[in-house]
Amino acid sequence: MNPLVSIITVSYNHPEVTIDMLHSLQKITYKPIEIFVIDNASPNDDPTPIRDKFPDIHFIRLDKNIGFAGANNVGIKLAQGKYVLLLNNDTEVPSGFLEPLVQKMEANLQIGVVSPKIKFYHFPDTIQYAGVTPFHPLTIRTKGLGYGKVDKGQFDKDSKTAFAHGAAMMVSMRAIKKAGLLPDVYFLYYEELDWCEAIRRAGYEVWYVHNSTVLHKESVSTGRLSPLKTYYMNRARLIFLQRNLKFPLLWFSIIYQLLVAIPKNLTFFLLKGQFDLFGAYWKALWWNLGKKEHYSIKVTPRLEELTHEENNLILEYRRPASI
């Protein structure tokens, strides 16, 4: 019998995008699965059509936007599967995408995380993800393997990789119990990269699986170069640096950021007249300098029952009709 896979997706506005993703999940051949949709307090669009159209999913509506990591962690704490698949709501999947991911993890217990080949939805012959290089210790940047290249089969081989892709990553509950949950200090971006680092430190491997494919519409909620994306992306990069680099690399990277990266980026936004992006970037820097959050930047939440605070955030929890 196949192991249960818990599929978790976070919805924020644009319910029609989530509905399209769920329609594609209805056609998959792998069983058994359970599906969790976590609505992250959508402010503009009513998410109830998701609940009404799909009676066989777990639908959870939150009272407050607690970020990508926080919302996914709510789903993980409720999940019953041997494996948890985090799947962006702006994706669509072929019918047989799940089997290769499960088979890869079942064949090697040292693997804690897998990601499929990810292609752009609007350009389905073009690769977005086929693995990724490790972070450069100064720039805190990676290089996506295959990004923007036409898929000619050149990445049709499974391989160990530095990081999974947050749009579609499957993690074993065994690894989560040992490494902890997604670090919710990030709110948006880098949380899955940090999670991969933690899972690797716990003794597990991260793999790219070539014969599973997901189509990604990318940045429907945040936009490609929006102030929101600029703020959270750059805030997260500096958090990642502090959580994952050790002395002396930590200090070399901080010096590089202060003397090279930060002046370069601020100057670029000014010269381009992108004052909204300049403001968002400066705000991200200030957040890291001030660390106004009441908890430590180093904290990683553990797998346990929902906290009192999380329970209070749940406005609605509609369980599947079949339960």
Q: What is the DSSP string of 109-134?
A: TTEEEEEEEEEETTEEEEEEES-BPP
pLDDT at 258 over 80: yes
Q: If residue 315 lies in a helix (H) or strand (E), which one and from where to where?
A: strand 314-318
Measured distance CA(287)–CA(49) in Å, rounded: 37
Range 5-221+299-318: architecture per CATH: Alpha-Beta Complex (3.90)
Give the model's confidence band at 226: pLDDT under 50 very low, under 70 low, under 90 confident, else very high. confident
Q: What is the pLDDT of residue 220?
A: 43
pLDDT at 314 over 70: yes
The share of the chain scoring above pLDDT 90, in percent, equals 72
Q: What is the pLDDT of residue 279?
A: 94
Give the model's confidence band at 294: pLDDT under 50 very low, under 70 low, under 90 confident, else very high. very low
Which of 14-23, 28-37, 92-101, 246-255 shows the lowest per-residue confidence on average (mean pLDDT)? Answer: 246-255
Q: Are 195 and 301 within 8 A, CB to CB? A: no
Q: Are 70 and 313 within 8 A, CB to CB? A: no
Measured distance CA(221)–CA(229) in Å, rounded: 10
Measured distance CA(3)–CA(244) in Å, rounded: 33
- CB atoms under 10 Å from CB of 309, counted, come to 9
**Average pLDDT of the segment spanning 37-41:** 97
pLDDT at 321 over 80: no
pLDDT at 157 over 80: yes
pTM (predicted TM-score):
0.91
Q: What mean pLDDT, rounded, does the chain reach?
A: 91
Q: What is the pLDDT of residue 222?
A: 47
Q: Name the more confident of 247 and 122.
A: 122
Q: Are 76 and 9 within 8 A, CB to CB? A: no
Beta bridge partners of 115: 208
Q: Are 181 and 302 within 8 A, CB to CB? A: yes
Q: Are 36 and 60 within 8 A, CB to CB? A: yes
CA distances, 245 to each of 10, 194, 241, 252, 323 (Å): 29, 11, 6, 10, 45
What's the N-to-C CA distance of the chain in angstroms? 20
**Average pLDDT of the segment spanning 236-260:** 87
Among 165, 203, 222, 191, smallest CA distance to 297 is for 191
Measured distance CA(323)–CA(197) in Å, rounded: 36
Among 242, 320, 321, 309, smallest CA distance to 77 is for 309
State the greatest distance between any 2 C-alpha atoms of the chain, in Å, as a whole number: 60
pLDDT at 237 over 50: yes
Beta bridge partners of 123: 120
Q: What is the pLDDT of residue 305?
A: 86
Give the model's confidence band at 283: pLDDT under 50 very low, under 70 low, under 90 confident, else very high. very high
pLDDT at 221 over 50: no
pLDDT at 292 over 80: no
Q: What is the pLDDT of residue 271?
A: 92
**Average pLDDT of the segment spanning 209-232:** 82
Give the model's confidence band at 248: pLDDT under 50 very low, under 70 low, under 90 confident, else very high. confident
- Cis, peptide link before residue 248, omega less than 30° from 0: yes
- Bridging pattern class, strands 91-92 and 123-129: unpaired
**Average pLDDT of the segment spanning 185-213:** 95
Measured distance CA(220)–CA(20) in Å, rounded: 13
